[in-house]
Structure 1
Amino acid sequence: MTLAIGQPVPDFTATATGDTTVSLADLKGRQVVVFFYPKASTPGCTTEGGDFRDRKADFDTVDTVILGVSRDGIRAQENFKAKQAFNFELISDKDEEVCKLFDVIKLKKLYGKEHLGIERSTFLIDAEGKLAREWRGVKVKGHAQEVLEAAQALHAEG
């Protein structure tokens, strides 16, 4: 199944930091940014998370929830969140259910070896639960700002 712009995103429920369970259905009426990153506490992921953290107040003004997702266990996610003072929840997707829903598991090459991993990707879901924008193969620099501007534009339309 491939998600398409303008189509409803199927509901998902996942274990998240702060001893919470995140369900997309519970967030209806708000915009949602779901960003997928390869691994907690690695340099690129730390920078990306920090960029979202530093813009959270701006996302809040346009009623947009930020969620980070990786295949790390909940303990690794809690440590990552605490260490970086992230002000949003991180989803532990060990069984890759959410990753598969958004089709972000890709064949990657590292040191000449191929493995399946998360392609850094971000999705913006509108207040009705439909996919509004997607970014795949994300480069970290400037990305959170671009997503913020898209969220602001979407909010202004609504």
Structure 2
Amino acid sequence: MSAPSPGQTVADFSAAATSGKTISLADLRGCYLVLYFYPKDSTPGCTREGQDFRDLYPAFQTLGAEILGVSRDSLKSHENFRCKQSFPFELLSDSDESLCRLFDVIKLKNMYGREVQGIERSTFLIDPDGRLAAEWRKVSVKGHAADVLERLRSLTAG
């Protein structure tokens, strides 16, 4: 299965989330969904990215969008991270990498001179009908959440 391209329908998925929830794409039909993949809870870049989405969350909500963060960390790790950072949105645990594979975000990365499989920081904007509206790969954290919000504004302006 190849990752969806902009304009294509995203295959339904379901994943364990913080707050004891299981969230599926089908549950979110009718609203925009910002699905952002990040490498690891409580690391500097991932914390900053989550904080940026947290700080802009009311603006996303005003435009009819929900935000979900995804990494391979456990639900316990996610709960701690979410609580410590006061994230108003849920985090999905993808320990089996099924979501990562669906969106093709597992890449070979160089960590301290060794090659390892890891999540390439990526964000996907899914429209209310379940189609991929936009994607960002190899994301640089600074200004990213604002860029996603701006794209959402342009999509909802028409």
Fold similarity call, TM over 0.5: yes
Identity %: 59
Counterpart residue identity of residue 96, structure 2 = D
Could you tell me how far 1:2 is from its partner in structure 2? 2.5
Q: Does 1:78 align with 2:79?
A: yes
Q: Does 1:2 align with 2:14?
A: no
Could you tell me how far 1:152 is from its partner in structure 2? 1.3
Q: Does 1:119 align with 2:120?
A: yes
Match of residue 68 from structure 2: 67
Match of residue 27 from structure 1: 28
Q: Does 1:91 align with 2:75?
A: no
Counterpart residue identity of residue 47, structure 1 = R
TM-score between both structures, scaled by the size of structure 2: 0.98
Find the aligned partners of 2:3 and 2:91 in 1 and give their Cα distance. Answer: 23
Could you tell me how far 1:133 is from its partner in structure 2? 0.4
Partner SS, residue 73 of structure 2 = coil
The runs of at least 4 consecutive aligned structure 1 residues that moved more than 6 Å come to none
Give 1:39-58 correspondences, 5 Å limit: 39-58=40-59
TM-score between both structures, scaled by the size of structure 1: 0.98
Partner SS, residue 19 of structure 2 = coil
Find the aligned partners of 1:23 and 1:151 in 2 and give their Cα distance. Answer: 21
Counterpart residue identity of residue 104, structure 1 = V
Counterpart residue identity of residue 46, structure 1 = T
Partner SS, residue 7 of structure 1 = coil
Find the aligned partners of 1:110 and 1:29 in 2 and give their Cα distance. Answer: 40
Could you tell me how far 1:151 is from its partner in structure 2? 1.1
Which sections of structure 2, spanning at least 5 residues, go unmatched? none
Could you tell me how far 1:156 is from its partner in structure 2? 1.9
Aligned-residue Cα RMSD (Å) equals: 0.6
Partner SS, residue 35 of structure 2 = strand
Could you tell me how far 1:61 is from its partner in structure 2? 0.6
On the 8 A contact 1:126/1:154 being kept in 2, the answer is: no
On the 8 A contact 1:53/1:86 being kept in 2, the answer is: yes
Find the aligned partners of 1:20 and 1:155 in 2 and give their Cα distance. Answer: 28
Give 1:5-16 correspondences, 5 Å limit: 5-16=6-17
Could you tell me how far 1:153 is from its partner in structure 2? 1.2
Deviations 1:11-31, CA, capped at 9 Å, x for gaps: 000000011111001100000
Could you tell me how far 1:50 is from its partner in structure 2? 0.1
Could you tell me how far 1:57 is from its partner in structure 2? 0.3
Could you tell me how far 1:125 is from its partner in structure 2? 0.4
